[in-house]
Structure 1
């Protein structure tokens, strides 16, 4: 994807229904910078994963799909913000999964404890900012 200073909505095919129903873009790209909306731990059937580890993996897989549609990769993430319904108990498990998906060139990371997410079963939401191509260095 060639960089442009125009704002581009990034809507991978699996996210089209969300875009249509809730009127938001899974990601927005301007130039090489990509802002990714919060990704949660649900599968293709819209079912939450069982526990933090499964939900974190599902959320990172969704994040990967969105970034690839925007012309970037997980290696290009420069900032991560995570929202946890049980931050103190789950942060170590989440951190281990995060390190599987982002094994080096760690991004800035802010973890925030919240009382609830979009579905009562959800325990994690991940949003990110990436700069396309910066992880290749």
Structure 2
């Protein structure tokens, strides 16, 4: 059985300590990232729609970097959207962050509410696989 470790980036300690979940868990060379929302380091909602999507991707990037990975290691993405009409805007922002080949698998799901509060429009969950040492 592989050893697993919670990944808690600086600024996300409250998520682990107060909300009681790991922003990510690393098991072997695989990183399972919990859904990242458009919340800043002060745990405040970023209100502008595009800025909120950008913040969610920045949070994803921070979690991956803390685990020793990068966005190019992402193999699977699941996104949750409170309004599927935001998909074109989401896809424009996504292209800035996930544009390496091969592209990751992606599933988009409509959801009534995200992050336990009104106002959040997107949540990004991902799986990344880091290259094995020496390969």
Within 5 Å, give how 1:34-49 maps onto structure 2: 34-49=31-46
In structure 1, C-alpha distance between the alignment counterparts of 2:104 and 2:49, rounded to whole Å: 21
2:2 is matched with 5
Equivalent residue for 2:122, pick from 121, 124, 127: 124
Cα offset, 1:11, TM superposition: 1.0
RMSD value, Cα = 1.7
* Deviation, structure 1 residue 54: 1.0
Q: 2:53 corresponds to which residue?
A: 56
Displacement of 1:16 in angstroms is 0.8
Alignment partner of 1:91 out of 87, 91, 95: 87
1:29 aligns with 2:19: no
- Length, aligned pairs only: 131
Q: Indicate conservation of the 8 Å contact 1:81/1:127, yes or no.
A: yes
Question: Is the counterpart of residue 77 in structure 1 residue 74 in structure 2?
Answer: yes
- Structure 2: distance between partners of 1:120 and 1:17: 20
Would the aligned equivalents of 2:74 and 2:126 in 1 still touch at CA under 8 Å?
Answer: yes
Relative to the length of structure 2, the TM-score reads: 0.90
Whether the aligned pair in 2 keeps the contact of 1:77 and 1:128 (CA below 8 Å) is yes
Tell whether the 8 Å contact from 2:12 to 2:41 is kept in structure 1 after alignment: no
Q: Name whichever structure is richer in helix by fraction.
A: 1
- Runs of at least 5 residues in structure 2 that lack an aligned partner in the other structure: none
Q: TM-score, normalised by structure 1?
A: 0.89
Tell me how far 1:5 sits from its aligned partner: 2.5
Cα distance, 1:47 vs structure 2: 2.5
